[in-house]
Amino acid sequence: MTSAILPTYARTDFAFERGDGAWLTTTDGERYLDFGGGIAVSCLGHSHPRLVKALTEQAAKLWHTSNLYRIPEGERLAERLADLTFADLTFFTNSGAEALECSIKMARKYHSANGHPERYRIITFQGAFHGRTLATIAAGGNQKYLDGFGPEMPGFDHIAFGDSDLLKATIGPETAAILIEPIQGEGGIRPVPHQALREMRALCDAHGLLLILDEVQCGVGRSGKLFAHEWAGITPDIMAIAKGIGGGFPLGACLATAEAAKGMTAGTHGSTYGGNPLAMACGNAVLDEVATPEFLAHVQKTALVLKQRLAELKDRHGGLIEEIRGTGLMLGLKMLVPNTELVNAARAEHLLTVGAGDNVVRLVPPLTIGDSEITEMFERLDRACARVEASQAAARPSAAE
């Protein structure tokens, strides 16, 4: 497989031509059940009629004007996000990493505007993933992503996940904010205990820090609430979202309270494409579907059924699966064998999943799946586990030898 594309991805050697709901069809006409959802992006599945209509109608009218002018659909989307969340203000981006960049700049600017430019450091957590820009690889602190790219951008203190004494000890006179994913995605579907999030909120309040949540992966209905922090009963000061909000169209956003955003005045930040009419049409259409009590109740109910089936799978294949973890339709199988073995075996059964850190197989399907997709998923994953077991048995020397 050679191509003129920069070889930064380890791609599987096939391509999809079309999609319909939770199903994808390859260029060879083979159908796959998509429990990867384009890495937790395709929240309404593929070719959702409302999204297709919103995008094509907008495409026939106007694609792009730049942020030199008002964009009414963007004002409407920001207004709706403000009504639905803690936030007063939204900045639109084209990706998750850019939403984090805006969040990081905003937190630093807030303290600078308060007369404390020395408060620029942000506390982040091991196993975190915040994107691939120079600032967000520094925020994530994963050495694999930092190696060879020159001096690491200063200003981040990485600490162990789940150590509240260490967190308290790390807060200093230069600390500006705490940045955390309420459910770590790339790190291996690791939910932050609700009590720990509440403690962070209290610590931020006590020390004048901003709480920044990265809900790029766990937001927009994926957890069964519109945003995952709602489960803990807290609100952040700043939140980065992306993935699901565009339903497959590149769209991200940085949401904030008016107080946290007070330094972000005219000219302090920008993006040529950010919030363009095509993206705004898609974002509004996604919210039309996802931000209803019925839709979120469906996600919670589906998640319960899926989790029960996965527990059954673990019982049937206890030698492969150590643990089922996650919230809503953001679930992970912590594996006892290399996670890639199950990802590959599932693909051989025409089921798409995604690997994650901590040796986890991620299931992040469209939020629109129902019982029939879950049954199909179970049967395919069950056969995939049997494949892995068979290959293990073949590799093991027999007791008689």
Ligand X SMILES: *Cc1c(COP(=O)(O)O)cnc(C)c1O
One of 19, 36, 74, 96 touching ligand X (CB under 6 A): 96
**Dist. CA 360–CA 336, nearest whole Å:** 9
Q: Smallest Cα–Cα separation from 332: which of 125, 126, 163, 183?
A: 183
Q: Which residue is nearest to ligand X (CB)?
A: 96
Alpha carbons 210 and 323: distance in angstroms, whole number: 34
Residue nearer to ligand X on the CB measure, 122 or 385: 122
| Largest Cα–Cα separation, the chain | 78
Which amino acid, residue 108?
R
User: Contact with ligand X (CB under 6 A): which of 142, 217, 257, 339?
Assistant: 217
Total site size for ligand X, rule CB under 6 A: 15
Does residue 231 belong to the site contacting ligand X (CB under 6 A)?
no
Q: Where are the beta strands (DSSP E) in 11-132?
A: 16-20, 23-26, 31-34, 89-93, 121-125
Q: How far is the CB of 183 from ligand X (least distance, A)?
A: 9
User: Residue with structure tokens 């999943």?
Assistant: 353
Is 121:155 a contact under the CB 8 Å cutoff?
yes
Q: Which stretch binds ligand X (CB under 6 A): 93-101, 118-126, 300-308, 325-333?
A: 93-101
The answer to the question of residue 81 lying near ligand X (CB under 6 A) is: no
Choices 60-68, 210-218, 274-282, 341-349 (CB under 6 A): range interacting with ligand X: 210-218
**383 φ, ψ (degrees, to nearest 5):** -65, -35
Q: Residue 95 interacts with ligand X (CB under 6 A)?
A: yes
| String of DSSP letters for 194-209 | HHHHHHHHHHHHHHTP
Rounded CA separation 216/250 (Å): 12
- Site track 124-143 with ligand X (rule: CB under 6 A), x = hit: -----xxx------------
- In whole angstroms, what is the distance from residue 10 CA to residue 61 CA? 38
Q: Which amino acid is at 297?
A: A
At its nearest, how many Å lie between ligand X and the CB of residue 130? Answer: 5
Within positions 174 to 193, which residues make up the interface with ligand X, using CB under 6 A?
181, 185-186
- Residue 305 beta carbon to ligand X: minimum distance, rounded to whole angstroms: 25
Which CB sits closer to ligand X, 196 or 388? 196
Q: Does 277 bind ligand X (CB under 6 A)?
A: no
Q: How many CB atoms lie within 10 A of CB 20?
A: 13
Residue holding tokens 């209905």? 221
Shortest distance (Å) from residue 191 CB to ligand X: 13
Does residue 214 interact with ligand X by CB under 6 A?
yes
Structure tokens of 269? Answer: 């930040």
Long-range contacts, 5-11 (Cβ 8 Å, 24+): none
Among residues 216, 220, 361, 377, which is the contact residue for ligand X, using CB under 6 A?
Answer: 216
Q: Which of residues 4-33 bind ligand X (CB under 6 A)?
A: none
Task: Using DSSP, state whether 115 is helix, strand or coil.
Answer: coil
Asked if 210 is part of the footprint of ligand X (rule: CB under 6 A), the reply reads no
Question: What DSSP element (H or E) covers 360?
Answer: strand 360-363
Q: What is the token pair recorded at 237?
A: 């000061």
Least distance to ligand X from the beta carbon of 396, Å?
Answer: 37
To ligand X, the closest distance from the beta carbon of 389 in angstroms equals: 31
Question: Which of residues 285 and 356 has its CB atom nearest to ligand X in the complex?
Answer: 356
Q: How many CB atoms lie within 10 A of CB 30?
A: 11
Determine the interface stretch with ligand X among 212-220, 222-230, 307-315, 377-385 (rule: CB under 6 A): 212-220
Alpha-carbon torsion 89, 92, 97, 98, what sign?
negative
Considering beta carbons, is residue 33 or 100 the nearer one to ligand X?
A: 100
Q: Is 242 in the site for ligand X (CB under 6 A)?
A: yes
Minimum distance from residue 38 beta carbon to ligand X (Å)? 11
Subset of residues 357 to 396 that bind ligand X, contact rule: CB under 6 A: none
Q: Which is nearer to ligand X, 73 or 186 (CB)?
A: 186
Q: Which residues bind ligand X (CB under 6 A)?
A: 95-97, 100, 129-131, 181, 185-186, 214, 216-217, 242-243
